[in-house]
Amino acid sequence: MNENIVNFIYLIAGVLFILGIKGLTKPKTAVRGNMLSALGMLIAVVVTLLNMNTVDYTFIVAGVVVGSVVGSVMALRIQMTSMPQMVALLNGFGGGASLTIALAEYYTKLGTTPASFAELLNPVVADSSAFGAGPEGTVALVAIGLTVLIGALTLTGSLVAFAKLQELMKKSYGLPGGPIGNALFLIAALVAVALVVVEPGNVAAMGTVVALALLLGLFLVMPIGGADMPVVIALLNSYSGIAAALAGFILGNTVLIIAGSLVGTSGLILTRIMCVAMNRSLANVLFGKMAAGGETIDADEVYAGKVTSAQPDEVAMLLETAQRVVIVPGYGMAMAQAQHAVRELADAMEAKGVEVEYGIHPVAGRMPGHMNVLLAEAEVPYDKLVEMDRINPTFEDTDVVIVIGANDVTNPMARDVEGSPIYGMPILNVDKAKTVVVIKRSLSPGFAGLPNPLFAMDHTLMVYGDGKKAVVEMTTALNQA
């Protein structure tokens, strides 16, 4: 097939990807956008297959079959609460694909591959002319080295993120020296990349890049805690896109560059949104601890004798007479699988003429938009899900706020107590409502490790226990009232 035709069809695929993302700007056009994007993928793959000359289909068919089965089982079986894990895995696979493509291209251009593992690191005689004439050869080598680096660290970093989200890995480990240790690893990996560029036949240097990058991915993500995961997932999402775009430079493939850069920017923008919502810099999330600053706040002093608890049926009486109720969900709602129960409570309230909305903090949950997907699964209309900036001014006119499974994002210390570790983080001002009901297992602190003065306020009622059970009991009591 003529190369120009192939590239023209790649261009069409690229345009379809762009239209696909454009579709995602509105819930109504989103499904169609996703399909356009999938169509773009299909034609890009078909034209690639048609354009291949001497082909051994064995490995292609095997890979496509295995990948399709694994991909569809994952996609159809996964629970909406586990979506962060799914995305973490997909990020990792994207990085792994770019890594293996770059390595395959490296060995193809070298024209020789090791016959055994013992030969894996034996140097080969080659110079950059094998990778392209003049500067093109050098650029191709740089692209290969960087793709291997970013692909490998995205792979292991994402697998650690998955393990943390799945709670397979509960503790946080890190390199001694923290950021400095990581920086040294990164510099060593970049030096190895430079070595490959200078001496393309130095297979051992390439092996070193792979090994260092795989380790770097582990060390970067292992110290990071659960509530910072939205940032990590978004960042790894970006890396997988950048790796794909770099792979495009290796192969001189336009559609890889277009698609990769779209994904790369998407991840970066989401990363930024998450950081702003936590009032922390990216470096602070990746390398820092929550500042231990200020005097330590004694939880007993905050709570002692001031916390009022209530039973679900007492709350139901409050809800019955309310005019406006705002529900504020957090990761605890996902943990308790309480999204359907919450929707039923909202239905019961609406049946009694109560106006119900949901206040969604950008970092509620474990990934951007996590709460929205859960509530959409429970068939809550998306126009009831209100962003922080729009819901905050309404709390003063709200009779009851029900906080379920959220903690730090409602902590008034972030607004009022200068010197508090979370000071400056934008929060949902739930304490401005007439009554706040907090459904929580205990008074234990959230991810920031701070007591929440909200719980001790005069107009706050604590409902202790399992989120789902408490909500179901409220619904039952409300329906009987």
Strands 400-404 and 355-360: unpaired
Number of CB atoms found within 10 A of residue 317's CB:
14
Does the annotation count 408 as an active-site position? yes
For the CB of residue 154, give the shortest distance to other proteins in the complex, in Å.
10
H-helix or E-strand containing 436?
Answer: strand 435-440
Residue 1 in contact with other proteins, rule: CB under 8 A: no
Contacts of 30 (CB under 8 A, 6+ apart): 23, 24
- Euclidean distance between CA atoms 66 and 352, whole angstroms: 52
Interacting residues with other proteins between 90 and 119 (CB under 8 A)? 90-91, 93-94, 96-98, 100-101, 103-105, 107-108, 111-114
Interacting residues with other proteins between 369 and 408 (CB under 8 A)? 369-370, 372-373, 376-377, 379, 381-383, 385, 387
* Residue with the two structure tokens 């909500």: 471
| Choice from 121, 124, 126, 139 touching other proteins (CB under 8 A) | 139
| Choice from 5, 60, 183, 211 touching other proteins (CB under 8 A) | 60
- Euclidean distance between CA atoms 194 and 200, whole angstroms: 10
Interacting residues with other proteins between 225 and 244 (CB under 8 A)? 233-234, 237, 240-241, 243-244
Q: Among 127, 397, 408, 416, which one carries the catalytic annotation? A: 408
Residue 123 in contact with other proteins, rule: CB under 8 A: no
- Quick one: which segment of 159-167, 268-276, 407-415, 457-465 binds other proteins (CB under 8 A)? 268-276
In degrees, rounded to 5, the angle at the alpha carbon of residue 159 between the alpha carbons of residues 40 and 283 is 95
Residue 18 in contact with other proteins, rule: CB under 8 A: yes
Is the separation of the CB atoms in 428 and 388 below 8 Å?
yes
Considering beta carbons, is residue 81 or 420 the nearer one to other proteins? 81
For the CB of residue 145, give the shortest distance to other proteins in the complex, in Å.
16
Virtual CA dihedral for 60, 63, 69, 73, nearest 10 degrees? -140
Considering beta carbons, is residue 21 or 299 the nearer one to other proteins? 21
Is the separation of the CB atoms in 144 and 136 below 8 Å?
no
- Euclidean distance between CA atoms 43 and 15, whole angstroms: 12
Annotate each residue in 272-311 with x if it binds other proteins (CB under 8 A) or - if it does not, as one string: -x--------------------------------------
Residues known to be catalytic: 408
